[in-house]
């Protein structure tokens, strides 16, 4: 059995007639997308050289032409006619005849090019943007309201919650995040201890490295770092998961089956974060302090006992509660924003990507803002801690 590959494209362009007079151009061969640009350039060069009064394109030897070649031949002829040079096709090969019959070309060229969609004046766009922004904020407020209502009903109607989903989410947010949080908090404790040790050594106040590390970890770095990690790991995955469900109409399916998507999808995730985030924060605090202790034991000649004794004296119950409160607020923020961005998705794959990014950025931004608010509030709650 023989199989022939399609012919490689090639063309021959030959000229009959005197420059400035009636010119016949014979086109032979196979014209495809691959040699079309070269052919058009050659044709243009010939025409520029010969300056014909009228032009005839003889297509008898044209064995094959694709739609693009057909289009460009027709376009060239139409351009000549528009420029006042009579131009016609003669002796069409069967292939050329078939392709030329594809469309009413004059009508095709005469049809107005569709105007690109209007982008609008700057003021119009500002208006659009503002309206979108307001709609976004309204959506966010509606979502937050709905979420809070659902959460408030949980203690009264615990059986409405899908607890297996909560457990799965807890595992994904918490247990699966342990290795990276262990590593990061340990290193963070190490860094804080090193930094403070370099300064405190000058005053012979080595022992206070323990205080600094413990206070920094428990009050600020532990909650913030855990929050940022969970936002990056889980907030993003909530947004992507719900966004993809939205694209696949799964969210619509839930709603049609009579389930509230908020209760079904968002509430378990928020509850899971509420349980897991404080635990992860304590865990991060612990490993941060351990990191500091390693520095103390190795480079500051502090014994483990001294270090831990000092840590014990420096942290109060209030500090731990303060960190816990922060992590609870972060939990609601991260899970809420992640789910809300997911529900916002309209369109396709790109919208899911945008929602994921936006979930992480917004969560981290809110974490920092809320943390600052906590820092200010703390001054009023317990002023003497700063004395």
Partner 1 sequence: MPAAVTGSSQKLATPFQGREPVIVVENLTCAFGERVILENVSFEVHRGEIFVILGGSGCGKSTLLKHLIGLYPPAAGRIVVNGIDITSGDERALARMRREIGVLFQSSALFGSMTLGQNIALPLEEYTDLPPEAIDLVVRLKLRLVNLAGFEDYLPEELSGGMKKRAGLARALALDPDLLFFDEPSAGLDPITAVGLDQLILRLNAGLGATMVVVTHELQSILTIAHRVIMLDKDAKGIIAMGDPHDLKEHSTDPRVVNFFHRRPPEG
The contact set with partner 1 (CB under 8 A) reads 1, 3-16, 29-30, 32-39, 42, 45-46, 63, 66-68, 71-72, 75, 98-99, 101-103, 108, 111, 113-114, 116-117, 346-351
Q: Select 68 or 253, whichever has its Cβ closest to partner 1.
A: 68
Integer angstrom CA distances of residue 166 from 163, 234, 276: 5, 13, 10
Q: Select 281 or 356, whichever has its Cβ closest to partner 1.
A: 356
Q: Cα 199 from chain centroid?
A: 42
Question: In the structure encoding, which two tokens stand for residue 213, read together?
Answer: 């590390």
> Contact at 8 Å (CB) between 165 and 265?
no
* Minimum gap (Å) between residue 241 Cβ and partner 1: 18
DSSP per-residue letters across 190-211 = HHHHHHHHHHHGGGT-TTHHHH
CA–CA dist 254, 245 (Å, integer): 10
Q: Select 49 or 382, whichever has its Cβ closest to partner 1.
A: 49
> Contact at 8 Å (CB) between 31 and 74?
no
The residues near 192 (Cβ < 8 Å, ≥ 6 apart) are: 212, 213, 216, 217, 221, 288, 291, 292
Cα torsion 47, 51, 57, 58: sign: negative
* Minimum gap (Å) between residue 342 Cβ and partner 1: 17
Q: Give 39's DSSP letter.
A: H
* Minimum gap (Å) between residue 84 Cβ and partner 1: 21
Q: Select 65 or 370, whichever has its Cβ closest to partner 1.
A: 65
* Minimum gap (Å) between residue 117 Cβ and partner 1: 5
Q: Select 132 or 303, whichever has its Cβ closest to partner 1.
A: 132
Q: Select 272 or 345, whichever has its Cβ closest to partner 1.
A: 345
* Minimum gap (Å) between residue 50 Cβ and partner 1: 9
* Minimum gap (Å) between residue 295 Cβ and partner 1: 49
């Amino acid at each position: 059995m023989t199989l022939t590959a399609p012919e490689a494209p090639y063309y021959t362009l030959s000229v009959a007639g005197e420059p400035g007079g009636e010119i016949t151009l014979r086109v032979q061969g196979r014209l495809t997308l691959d040699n079309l640009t070269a052919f058009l350039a050659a044709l243009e060069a010939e025409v520029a050289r010969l300056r014909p009064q009228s032009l005839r394109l003889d297509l008898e030897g044209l064995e094959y032409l694709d739609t693009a070649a057909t289009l460009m031949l027709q376009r060239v002829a139409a351009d000549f006619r528009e420029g006042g040079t009579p131009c016609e096709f003669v002796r069409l090969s069967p292939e050329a005849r078939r392709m030329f019959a594809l469309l009413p070309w004059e009508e095709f060229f005469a049809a107005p090019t569709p105007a690109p969609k209007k982008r609008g004046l700057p003021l119009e766009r500002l208006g659009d943007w503002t309206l979108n922004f307001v709609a976004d904020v309204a959506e966010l407020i509606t979502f937050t309201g709905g979420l809070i209502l659902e959460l408030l009903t949980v203690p009264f109607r615990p059986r409405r919650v899908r607890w297996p989903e909560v457990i799965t989410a807890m595992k994904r947010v918490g247990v699966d995040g342990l290795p990276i949080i262990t590593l990061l908090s340990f290193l963070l404790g190490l860094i804080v201890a090193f930094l403070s040790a370099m300064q405190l050594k000058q005053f012979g106040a080595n022992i206070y490295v323990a205080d600094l590390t413990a206070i920094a970890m428990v009050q600020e770095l532990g909650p913030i770092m855990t929050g940022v990690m969970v936002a990056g790991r889980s907030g993003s995955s909530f947004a992507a998961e719900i966004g993809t469900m939205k694209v696949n109409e799964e969210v619509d399916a839930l709603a049609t089956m009579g389930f509230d998507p908020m209760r079904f999808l968002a509430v378990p995730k928020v509850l899971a974060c509420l349980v897991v985030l404080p635990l992860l924060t304590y865990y991060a605090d612990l490993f941060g302090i351990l990191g500091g202790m390693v520095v103390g034991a190795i480079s500051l000649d502090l014994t483990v006992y001294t270090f831990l004794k000092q840590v014990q004296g420096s942290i109060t119950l209030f500090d731990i509660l303060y960190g816990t409160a922060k992590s609870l607020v972060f939990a609601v923020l991260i899970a809420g924003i992640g789910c809300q961005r997911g529900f916002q998705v309209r369109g396709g794959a790109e919208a899911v990507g945008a929602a994921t990014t936006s979930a992480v950025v917004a969560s981290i931004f809110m974490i920092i803002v809320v943390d600052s608010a906590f820092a200010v509030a703390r001054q009023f709650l317990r002023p003497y801690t700063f004395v």
